[in-house]
Amino acid sequence: MKLVSVNSLALQGVKVIRSARFRDARGYFTEHYRQSDFSKLPELGFLQDVAFVQCNESFSRSGTIRGLHFQWNPYQGKLVRTVFGRMVDLVLDIRLGSPTLGEIVCYDLPADRGADFQEWIWVPPGFAHGTFFPEDGVIEYLCTGEYSPGCEAGISPFAGDLDWTRCEPGLKGLFDLVASSNPLMTDKDRHGFSMREWLADQRSGQFVSGPR
């Protein structure tokens, strides 16, 4: 793959990886994942000991909100990209002892066929992950742990004690617009934990800032 850039978001450990597209009259080609590059390139050193064991694809209709999900035993990091449409990624810090505990960021990840690059967002363990869709979208995500239904939980994106101050105001406004328009979502996601409720749960100790 031809790496263009690796950028850090406001929450430590959350990254955006950009790789080049190669264009001609037919369209474009991009190599957006190569295991040897992910394990050897210095810019991707944070992924050198990471192994992806599961790949998922999800289609969401316009007005859908998913998350905020997280898993332990095994922990599950996610490498996420949009294949079609537009998705805005949501990442919430749930690591005990983190200076950004309870803070959430948004990242706009449209599938722009006219762009000269392809993007992944890396969401490591220790963060709750969600998405919302201003239009129909298909996303793909590689996971570092297989799905474990007995070891998962979620925080409601509507919880009143989330700190949105690090979010770009335009994306927060777009989330509020989707959220106020009878969004498509599960009851489980809608009525997930608040941050305070999760921190009072003994399972919150599964996620601690710093090396485990």
159 Cβ partners below 8 Å, 6+ apart? 192, 193, 194, 195
How many CB atoms are located within 10 Å of the residue 56 CB? 12
Catalytic residue among 33, 69, 107, 129: 69
Catalytic residue among 32, 33, 107, 141: 141
32 included as an active-site residue: no
Q: Which CATH class is domain 3-203?
A: mainly beta
For the full predicted model, state whether its pTM sits above 0.85: yes
pLDDT reported for residue 35? 87
Instruction: Bin 120: left if φ > 0, else alpha if -120 < ψ < 50, else beta.
Output: beta
Q: 8-57, pLDDT tens digit by residue?
A: 999 999 999 999 999 989 999 988 888 888 888 899 989 988 999 999 99
75 included as an active-site residue: no
Q: 65-93, pLDDT tens digit by residue?
A: 999 999 999 999 999 999 999 999 999 99
